[in-house]
Chains A and B, each alone.
Chain A
Amino acid sequence: MAKVLMKGNEAIAEAALRAGAEGYFCYPITPQTEVAEYLSKRMPEVGGMFLQGESELAVANMLFGAASTGKRVFTTSSSPGISLMQEAISYMAGAELPAVIINIMRGGPGLGGILPAQADYFQAVKGGGHGDYRTLVLAPSTVQEAVDLTMLCFHLAQKYRNPVMMIGDGMIGQMMEAVEFPESYEEPPLPSTDEWAATGALDRKARIIKSLFLDPVGLENNVLILEKKYQQMIREEVRCESYKISAENKILIVAYGTMARICQTAIDELEADGVSVGLFRPISLYPFPEKEILREATRKNIKSVLTIEMSMAQMMEDVERAIQGRRPVHFFGRSGGIVPTPEEVKEQVLKVLSIKRRTAKKK
C-alpha cells in the first residue's frame, strides 16, 4: 500500500480498525478528539460499534463490559480522562480482560494544559489504579510507529488478557506524517476467547467475570496468576531501539517518544561538532528494557547517562534502577507542554560532559 499523509490521531484510529477492533468507546478531550471524530464515521462503514459515553468513567466501564464479550475493543483519551479510567483498568486487570487504552498525553497535574507532555509515565507504568497489577505500556515516537504499535496493542491485549496502553505525547496525536498500513494484517496465533468470554451458558457452565475474591487465599492466588503473566511480559515483550550507539560514546541519552526524536537531531548536530553521543529509546515502558539499558550504559567509554523527558524525572527512576548505580544518571526535562529543542539537549550534553571534566581535574 502506498504511503498516505495522515494526522497521528486519525492514523491510530485507522490502525485499530486494521487490527480488527470491533468496538470503540470515547469521550471528547483535547488533544485526542480526532480519533473519536474519525471513528464516528469509519466504524459504521466497517460494521463496527462506535459509542460516545457520558464520561471517561463510564467509557472505561463500557470497555470493561464490551471486553467481556471477547471482542477487540478500545478507547482513547488524554491525561485527565485517563485518570478517570483507572478504576475500570484496575478491575479489568483483576478480571483478566483484554482491552486497549490509548493516552495522547497533555501536561498536568490537574486540568493542566493541552500541549504535549510525557507526565503520565508513573500513572501508566506503575499502575494508576489500586491493587497488585500492571498494564503493558508501549510508546511510539513517530506516526508510523503509532500505527504499528496500535496494531500490536490489540494482539498483546488478547495474548495476555490484560489491559494494554499506548502512550503518546500530544505531538504524536497532532502531527501529520506519511504512514503506510500493511496490505493485510497477520499476527501469531492467539488462545481462543471461547475459553473465557461471556457468551451465554449454552451447553457449558455459567461463567463469572470478576475481580472479587473475598477469601484472601483466593485473592492472593489471583494476584499470583497475574504476576506470572507480568513475568512472561518481562521475558517476551521488551522492546527498544538504539541510535548511534558506538564505542566512541561518552554519554548515553535515554529518551522515549517524541523526545527521543528531538534527541536524535541533537545527536546528529553534536556528531558534526565531534561529540559522540548515543541514544537508547525504550519502546516498551512496561516491561522496561532494564537489561538492555544496563548493557549500553556500562560500555567502557560511557561516563554518564542523561535521561531526557517531557516530564519531571519520572522515567529517570526506572533508568537509575536499571543502571544500579554503575554510572551517574543525569536528568533534563521540560514540563507543562513545553517541548525541549535540540539546542537545549545539546547544551545539556555539553554541560554533563563539562561536569565530568571538572571532576577529573579535581582528582
Chain B
Amino acid sequence: MAVDSKTVFDRPVTLRDVVTHYCPGCTHGVIHRMVSEVLDELGLRERTCGVAPVGCSVLCYNYFDTDFMEAPHGRAPALATGFKRMRPDMIVFTYQGDGDLASIGMGEIIHAANRGEKFTTIFVNNAVYGMTGGQMAPTTLPGQITTTCPMGRDTSLTGEPIRIAELLSALATPGYIERVAVHTPAHILKAKKAIRKAFTLQRDNKCYTLVEVLSTCPTNWGNTPGEAIEWLDENMMKYFPLGCYKDYVEPEGS
C-alpha cells in the first residue's frame, strides 16, 4: 500500500542531535527543546547568540546549534547586555539556573531587567545547586533537605526562598515576566507559549523578557523521576505559583 508519509514530529534544527549529560528525569532537556522549537519557528537561529551559565546547564552550548558564550558564574546577564548593546540586530538569551541567577548573579539580573535590556532569560528553578551535588540554593524550600542544610532549610537562619518572578516584576521598567512549569504535557505547552512570547517581544525590540521554569532534580532531591514530578507539583507549585507576573504594555502614544 502506498503511503504518503508526512513528518509530524521531528527534532528542531536548533537542537543538536547529541546525547546530553543531564540526569534521567531532569527537565533541562524539555526546556532546551522548547527554546529550540521557538527559535526554529520564529526563524531566529542564524542570528542568535546564547549565554551559558555556570551550573548543570554550563554545557548547554553543546546542545543548541547557535553561537554561544560561556559566562562566569552569575554574569550571563552582563555578557548578554554587552553583546546585545553592540549587536541590537541579534537575538540574545541567557540560560541560567537558580544558583547562578538568584544567588551569585542577583546584581546582574536585577540591573539588566531594570535597564530593560532587550534579551531573554530562561531561568530554570529546581530549588537546588545541581552541578556541585545538591547544596542549598536561594530557592530551596523551607524544610527541604540539601547537603548544606541536612536538617532541612531553617528559614530563621537562611531566610525565605526568593521568588524571582515576583521580585523582578516589582521593577517599574516595562518587561515580560512569566513563571511556567514543564512537568506535564499541558504545562509544557503553556511553557512553550511563554517562551515564544518572550522571543517574539525580543525580536520586536520591545522589552526585557524572562521565563522562569520550575524544573526537577531527582538526583539531588533524592527521589525517582516520577516522584520528582509529584514533589514539584505538591511543593514547588505552592511556593512558586505559576502565571504571568508582568505583561508587556505598549507605552502610551506608540
Contacts and interface: CB of A to CB of B under 8 A. Distances in A.
B179 interface: no
A61 interface: yes
B80 interface: yes
A211 B45 CA distance: 23
Contacts of B86: 22-23, 49, 65-66, 69, 71, 73
Given A69-B87, A88-B75, A206 B65 contact: yes
Contacts of A341: none
Interface string A54-98: 110111011111111101010000000000000110010001000
A206 B45 CA distance: 10
A71 B90 CA distance: 14
Nearest to B49: A198
B226 interface: no
A201 B46 contact: yes
A25 B82 CA distance: 8
Given A54-B111, A201-B45, A202-B46, A73 B82 contact: yes
A208 interface: yes
A350 interface: no
B135 interface: no
Contacts of A57: 75, 78, 107-108
B2 to A, nearest CB: 37
Nearest to B64: A206
A278 B107 CA distance: 51
B68 A206 contact: yes
A202 B82 contact: no
Size band of the interface chain B makes with A: 20 to 34
A120 B107 CA distance: 27
Given A68-B69, A198-B68, A210 B78 contact: no
Given A210-B69, A211-B70, A65 B107 contact: no
Given A53-B111, A68-B69, A201-B67, A208 B61 contact: yes
How large, as a class, is the contact surface on chain A? 35 or more
Given A58-B108, A200-B48, A95 B85 contact: no
Contacts of A66: 82-83, 85-86
B82 A199 contact: no
Contacts of A64: 69, 71-72, 75, 78-79, 82
A62 B82 contact: yes
B81 interface: yes
B72 A87 contact: yes
B78 A61 contact: yes
A198 B85 contact: no
A51 B81 contact: yes
B169 interface: no
B67 A23 contact: no
B107 A200 contact: no
Nearest to B81: A62
Interface in B79-133: 79-87, 90, 107-108, 111
B47 interface: yes
Contacts of B83: 65-66, 68-69, 198
A209 B69 contact: yes
A207 interface: yes
A25 B108 CA distance: 14
Nearest to A94: B70
A61 B108 contact: yes
B67 A65 contact: no
Contacts of B90: 199-200
Contact of B47 (A25, A55, A202, A210): A202
B75 A212 contact: no
7 contacts: A58-B78, A59-B78, A61-B75, A65-B51, A65-B84, A203-B46, A206-B66
Given A208-B69, A209-B69, 7 more contacts: A49-B85, A51-B82, A57-B78, A61-B78, A64-B79, A68-B82, A69-B87
Q: Give the top 5 A-B pairs by smallest Cβ distance, nearest first.
A: A65-B82, A65-B79, A62-B82, A61-B78, A210-B70
